[in-house]
A and B are shown apart, each in its own frame.
Chain A
Amino acid sequence: MEAALSAPGPLVALVGNPNCGKTALFNILTGSRQKVANYAGVTVERKEGSLTTPSGRKVRILDLPGAYSLDPLTPDEQVTVDVLLGRRAGEVPPDFVICVTDATNLRQNLRLVLSLKRLGLPMVIALNMTDIARRKGIVIDADKLAAEFGVPVVETVGVKTSGAAALVGMLNQLKAPAQPHRAAQWRTPTAADIAHDQNEVRRILGVVGGGRLDGVTLDDRIDAVVLHPVAGPLILGIILFLVFQAVFAWAQAPMDAIKAGVGLVGEWVNHALPASLLKDLLVNGVLAGVGSVLVFLPQILILFFFILSLEESGYLPRAAFLLDRMMGSVGLSGRAFIPLLSSFACAIPGIMATRTIQNPRDRLRTIMIAPLMTCSARLPVYALIIGAFIPRRQVWGGLQLQGLVLFALYLAGIVSAMAVAYLLGRRGARFHSLMLELPAYHWPNLRNLAIGLWQRVEIFLSRVGTIILSLMVILWALSSFPAPPAGATGPAIQYSIAGHLGAWLSVIFAPIGFNWQISIALVPGLAAREVAVGALGTVYALSAGGSDVSGALTPLIAQSWSLPTALSLLAWYVFAPQCLSTLATVKRETNSWRYPIIMAGYLFGLAYAGSWITYHMASALTAS
């Protein structure tokens, strides 16, 4: 794949408005021969793929970020314009431009075509979504369009494998340029230019057709229900409830299977290797690390399956529309909804998804509160403590007390996130642009879903996997060295660096009710929250590698911890940044150490304050 991508061949750039079906077309042209990375220095996704035409010539295809115009207002548009003008360091200007237009929305799309035409790069217009246009009764005369612009026009259908055949045929005849094309001089359009372009667009639409939709369309009828002030939020609530149900119900079996699989491999290594440091590293460092990453994959896959389907169908922007007012009241954009939703599975894909928020300050605020969403890594810890301390009984006519406590913990996360967003400065946030396009509804395309899911999985496993794995190995070392002295009676971890750290930490944590066992367990628990459960098992000297650490721990901690200590630990887990991978992701996404440090600081502060209040209130209540 690497070789194919770096092979010489003409570079073709796909340019188009957001929502014009450009990425679907890119998927058809390049299939799985894609490489997703970032443009240097910015968090804008760079997608390049390759294509071999029937006559065997290689063509590189660059999917430039969607742009409404060549007068950039967003980082995405800046990249697109810079690449086209050859101003972007490390990027060669394209030899050829495919301007992708949505045949159902030419009125908007043609303005970009006019600007591109002015750049003077060799260009072809792809009239995309012609199938939907035809269904909607929109007829566009492609020949006249070609005559108007003086460039070839090909009809494409972004969701059909054969939909790009005409385009591939055209690429087949593409001549590799003798020397790189230079874009014409570019100047920022004035108000008069925009007005001129508008008149031009109106004139062209008069010639080729396709300017407007008459009557009430099916989309209008769907919108009347989906965007209804009462029915809309209700439908959104039901959809979210079903998504959450699916994430937690469907993921259970594969998660158990992954746990069992990793356990089996661990046992096999245990038997195959003699007791040694290497074996310990493999079993308790590497395998435990890999397992703790992999176990979240099913949830992330399921969540992203829904998010991508909702996105493809056109519903997600509408959800953002419905929630904008509510989120705006704490200074967030409606666009923050999608990243925050993802953060319920894991904050890492959530933080990566904030790239869709255009305003940098809105994006930063969303990143800062993402770890307060109750990610699934907290669940094992919550489950352990709730199981041990909250009686299994019904209150208020049939509600399970244990379930209520869990719900309260989720709610505490959401409410504190909103409060933090508000405090981080909502002043002026009302005036941050929304200007969100609500695209036409589509049926999600399976092929695009599969490609999108695969890319998410790849990113998660490669980037996050490496971070967690290395952290786990480091924490393993901290928990294993130095070895306990001869004749030691306590668990080995007590004599290690982590043990000393824990003993030191227990002085700090004593005011919030944590004993030294909890303090030690929080150290390896920095790698990933749920690791603390296993670490508690180690500290309490349970047989290592036992399949049900949590089950064995429950009666133990129920006896040895007080209720205020347990509640305090729950409060700690609502806030504490017990996840170095999240901080590492924030570092990468913001290109600075500043924000992860601020994030860790404020979250530890909140956690300490929350636990202190919880501990002392609970102590006062239980004493009386």
Chain B
Amino acid sequence: MDIVRDSGAGSIVAAEAAGPVGAGGPRLDEVATGAAGELPLADLQTGAPARVVSVSATDGTSGHPGASGGLSRRLAELGFLPGETLRIVARGFLGREPIAVRIGTGTFALRLFEAACIRVCPEHQPLP
């Protein structure tokens, strides 16, 4: 089962590397935060505050109805939009998947392939 997941994640990364348009989904407008410290949401440290840089659909989910097309849109509806601040509240079983993300005043559990659509930039002030 790891093979399936890894190949899925691989294609997501590849799509990201190909650039925002190559990802095949709508890219919501980007906020200038400087691409230097940018990383995928799943790589963010638990508890560290960060700002959403971009939310893009990847084709790692193609062929599964309801997953590919609606994914970035649904994330956007839940508030995962460029400029919003978030942090990872907890990670699931054995510290991997899913991740619980606090965004604004809401908390959502996301699977890794969902989190892979979101790129964030850590904010460097520590949490109070």
Contact = CB atoms under 8 A, between A and B. Distances in A.
Interface of A: 68-69, 71, 73, 104-108, 111, 190-192, 194-195, 198, 202, 211-216, 219-220, 223-224, 227-229, 232-233, 317, 320-326, 328-329, 334, 358-359, 426-428, 430-439
Contact of A223 (B60, B61, B75, B89): B89
Contacts of A216: 127-128
A233 B91 CA distance: 12
Contacts of B108: 435-438
Contacts of B95: 229
Closest 7 CB pairs of A and B: A227-B90, A325-B93, A107-B104, A191-B26, A438-B107, A436-B109, A431-B61
Interface string B59-70: 011011011001
Q: Which of B71, B73, B74, B107 has the most CB of A within 10 A?
A: B107
B79 interface: yes
A191 B27 contact: yes
Contacts of A191: 26-29, 76
Nearest to A103: B105
B62 to A, nearest CB: 9
Contact of B73 (A194, A213, A437): A194
Nearest to A192: B29
B67 A431 contact: yes
B79 A334 contact: no
A504 B93 CA distance: 51
B93 A108 contact: no
A433 B105 contact: no
Interface residues of B, number: 52
Given A191-B28, A195-B29, A198-B81, A438 B111 contact: no
B94 A433 contact: no
Interface in B6-46: 8, 26-29
A435 to B, nearest CB: 6
Contact of A107 (B64, B79, B97): B79
B57 to A, nearest CB: 10
A359 B105 CA distance: 26
Q: Which of A107, A228, A233, A439 has the most CB of B within 10 A?
A: A107
A430 B77 CA distance: 21
A107 B110 contact: no
B100 A227 contact: yes
A105 B29 contact: no
11 contacts: A68-B77, A71-B77, A73-B73, A108-B78, A108-B106, A191-B29, A320-B109, A324-B98, A430-B8, A431-B61, A432-B67
B104 A108 contact: yes
Contacts of A190: 26
Nearest to A72: B70
Contact of A194 (B28, B85, B92, B106): B28
B63 A428 contact: yes
A433 B98 CA distance: 11
Contact of B64 (A211, A428, A434, A436): A428
Contacts of A104: 105
B105 A106 contact: yes
A324 B109 CA distance: 10
Contact of A195 (B81, B89, B94, B110): B81
Given A325-B93, A325-B97, 11 more contacts: A195-B28, A223-B100, A223-B107, A229-B95, A320-B109, A359-B66, A434-B109, A435-B74, A435-B75, A438-B107, A438-B108
Contact of A435 (B82, B97, B102, B114): B114
A318 to B, nearest CB: 8
Contacts of A211: 104-105
B64 A432 contact: yes
A325 B29 contact: no
Contacts of A214: 128
Contacts of A320: 109
A434 B107 contact: no
Nearest to B71: A433
A314 B85 CA distance: 23
A435 B127 CA distance: 25
Given A68-B78, A216-B127, A428-B63, A437 B96 contact: no
A328 B97 contact: yes
Nearest to A437: B108
Q: Which of A212, A214, A224, A438 has the most CB of B within 10 A?
A: A438
Contacts of A233: 93
A438 B66 CA distance: 21
A21 to B, nearest CB: 14
A321 B92 contact: yes
A101 to B, nearest CB: 12
B109 A433 contact: no
A12 to B, nearest CB: 25
B113 to A, nearest CB: 5
Nearest to A227: B90
Nearest to B75: A435
A321 B98 contact: yes
Contacts of A228: 90
Contacts of A232: 90
Contacts of B96: 325
